[in-house]
Structure 1
Amino acid sequence: MPLLDIRNLTIELDTPHGRVKALERVSLTLNPGEIHGLLGESGSGRTLLAKAIMGIPGHNWTIQADRMMWDGQNLLDMSTKARRALMGSEMAMIFQDPISSLDPTIVVGVQIIEAMPENKALPWWRREQDKRKTARQWLHKVGIKETQKVMSSYAWELSDGECQKVMIAIAVANQPRLLIADEPTNSMEVRTQAQIFRLLSKLNQLHNVSILLISHELENLSLWCDRLSVMYSGQIMESGPTADVIAQPYHPYTKAILDNIPDYSNPELHKTMMQTLRGSAPSLQHQPIGCRLGPRCPQAQKHCVNQPKLSHHKDRYFACHFPYYNEPSHDEPLTKS
């Protein structure tokens, strides 16, 4: 049974210009112990999806879905108190903006200790000391050397990179069943980025933590993720095993992303123009009808004014009327879900 199963999630936002669909019919499945990558550019709706899973919607949101199941429980039927308890124990999220996510009036050490589970095997008079020791260990694991100094500092006294590391320590200290990492290595140097990804991979392998890794960097997702979902302008374009998606993309948007990756093997290619899609991503107030990639898509035809349904071919899912795939044989039909 999937740990997280979302079908046809739609999020509408009330704006001064009227109601707009920020997410439209988004489906996502996350299995236990899986690292699932969510690829998309800024404004594609990745963070909205993550916040909807965590149960922290905005005041102007309207959420609809065929189902949002967490380990057999319907998230849409849960009370606010139950969702909050679930978020504190079984789900955790590394937010993209760490400074605004930390409390500026409380030192960092207290915030880490508050997020840690209680070790009831220890006598009550040793639990506080044990928590402080464990908190310093988590800070060291995420790449902070002066752990005691950071523990006694406020968020506004730290740099963006240090705040990001603190947020990661808070998220992983509770060892949740699901960790949502929204651009977890922003404002970090390359060496520290590799250390963070190794830590997340270790959590996944040793503690069976499922991870939803959100990023706009395909290179990182291809190295660490088992499965990959590609988002564009509030819709899922394609989903499947990472190696298969990279080897043979079905959706034109996925192919455009792969074609845009620089080829460093040829020293002359840096002088040539990179392949890009024409135009730019539409705003929320001016979304095209049907497939939202339609006005920019090299495969677009008249039929694309109708929104494509999510098609299923083997272990791959894609939403496109004219995908890049070989026609299936008669004994292996293409199905629509």
Structure 2
Amino acid sequence: MLLLDIKNLTIELETPDGLIRAVDRVSLSLKEGETRGLVGESGSGKSLIAKAIVGVLNRRWRIHADRFSWLGQDLLRLSSEQRRKIIGRDIAMIYQEPSRSLDPTAAIADQLEEAIPSELLEGSWWQRPFLRRKRAIALLHKVGIRDHKAILQSYPFQLSEGLCQKVMIAMAIAKNPKLLIADEPTTALESTTQAQLFRLLASFNQLRGMSVLLISHELESVARYTQNLSVLYCGQLVESGETSNILSQPFHPYTDALVKSVPEFQPELAPKAPLYALPGSIPTLQHLPIGCRLGPRCPNARKECVKTPLQERLQNHFYSCHFPLQYKAEK
């Protein structure tokens, strides 16, 4: 079953100089039980898309889409109250900086128990406090925290970033969401803690059938734990499809550059040899190129690239490029 279906999503920012198109006609879909990765450099619009899905962008942002549906309901056509009810019930999100997302004035026990919906508690009203605490302890155990007494009595500033992130995950899964959005969940964490969190998210997908949208700039980690992959560059969706197909045969020059920049995907690379990198850097929102936004950095750019490429499809592999890398072989 198709949970999330977004077509031609455009997100624009109102500025004194006019509208800036931060996200340009991006399409994204998620099936029930699917894990999808959303990768790209910092500033490519990944977090904007996630915040647009859960409806937390402020009024300065304008959102347009040909289709923006959740389980067949167009979220953009619903009232804010109806949309909050659906998102609050079915979608949960983990933000980048967990310690800043938690209330510094409240103990972890109060925050975690508040995240547990009353309808999931079976028992009389006078049993609710006991049942909430019991469920809060169970949630901490599920995310790998054994010393629940110390954690429940602590405040966010007393915990490490890794523990705060696990608490955020426990709060996110407290309502048994159909979709869990993890926005850069391992930022500033140690490598061992990163691996634990990725395995934890994978276990929710495998054991609970929970769909996961994993957002990160680390292609290596995302590729290991996702079935499908979408690649963003500067607000444009450049390629999407099955993760294994994209890694083995990327069609877009930017995706190819991402794959070549990861040593794990380059087994034939000589020791101490320099990794492949595109020239230049991602442009700012105020100076976005016309047409294909990779054009000024692309080694295959031609005059046709001043026009925005249409999305092409080869079986379940989508790409947006006038001159894809497999152009001669596939056309």
TM over 0.5: yes
- Deviation string for 1:77-105 (max 9, x for gaps)? 11111121122210000001222221222
Residue in structure 2 matched with residue 287 of structure 1 by the alignment: 288
Say whether 1:213 aligns with 2:214: yes
Residue in structure 1 matched with residue 88 of structure 2 by the alignment: 88
Measure how far apart 1:161 and its partner are: 2.4
Residues in 1 aligned to 2:236 and 2:265: alpha-carbon distance in whole angstroms: 31
2:121–2:131 CA contact under 8 A, matched in 1: no
Tell me, what secondary structure is at the counterpart of 1:52?
helix
Residue in structure 1 matched with residue 181 of structure 2 by the alignment: 180
2:112–2:170 CA contact under 8 A, matched in 1: yes
Unaligned runs of 5+ in 1: none
Measure how far apart 1:125 and its partner are: 2.5
2:220–2:264 CA contact under 8 A, matched in 1: no
Residues in 2 aligned to 1:136 and 1:187: alpha-carbon distance in whole angstroms: 26
Residues in 2 aligned to 1:313 and 1:263: alpha-carbon distance in whole angstroms: 27
Change (3 A) 1:177 1:224: same
Amino acid corresponding to residue 261 of structure 1 in structure 2: V
Residues in 2 aligned to 1:42 and 1:145: alpha-carbon distance in whole angstroms: 34
Residues in 1 aligned to 2:275 and 2:144: alpha-carbon distance in whole angstroms: 35
Measure how far apart 1:221 and its partner are: 1.4
Could you say what the CA RMSD is over the residues aligned between the two structures, in angstroms?
2.0
Change (3 A) 1:120 1:168: closer
Residues in 2 aligned to 1:151 and 1:263: alpha-carbon distance in whole angstroms: 39
Measure how far apart 1:43 and its partner are: 0.7
Residues in 1 aligned to 2:188 and 2:146: alpha-carbon distance in whole angstroms: 17
- Deviation string for 1:7-46 (max 9, x for gaps)? 1111111234432111010110111110000011111100
Residues in 1 aligned to 2:311 and 2:164: alpha-carbon distance in whole angstroms: 39
- Deviation string for 1:218-253 (max 9, x for gaps)? 111111101000001011110000011111001000
Measure how far apart 1:66 and its partner are: 0.6
Residue in structure 2 matched with residue 42 of structure 1 by the alignment: 42
Counterparts of residues 264-303 of structure 1 (less than 5 Å): 269-303=270-304
Stretches of 4+ aligned residues off by more than 4 angstroms:
263-268, 326-329
Amino acid corresponding to residue 211 of structure 1 in structure 2: V
Residues in 2 aligned to 1:92 and 1:268: alpha-carbon distance in whole angstroms: 40
TM-score normalised to the size of structure 1?
Answer: 0.92
Amino acid corresponding to residue 13 of structure 1 in structure 2: L
TM-score normalised to the size of structure 2?
Answer: 0.94
Residue in structure 1 matched with residue 7 of structure 2 by the alignment: 7
Residues in 1 aligned to 2:266 and 2:298: alpha-carbon distance in whole angstroms: 28
2:94–2:168 CA contact under 8 A, matched in 1: yes
Counterparts of residues 159-170 of structure 1 (less than 5 Å): 159-170=160-171
Identity, in percent, stands at 50
Change (3 A) 1:27 1:197: same
Residue in structure 1 matched with residue 108 of structure 2 by the alignment: 108
Residues in 2 aligned to 1:26 and 1:86: alpha-carbon distance in whole angstroms: 22
Residue in structure 1 matched with residue 78 of structure 2 by the alignment: 78
Greater mean deviation of Cα atoms: 184-193 or 53-62 = 184-193
Aligned length: 330
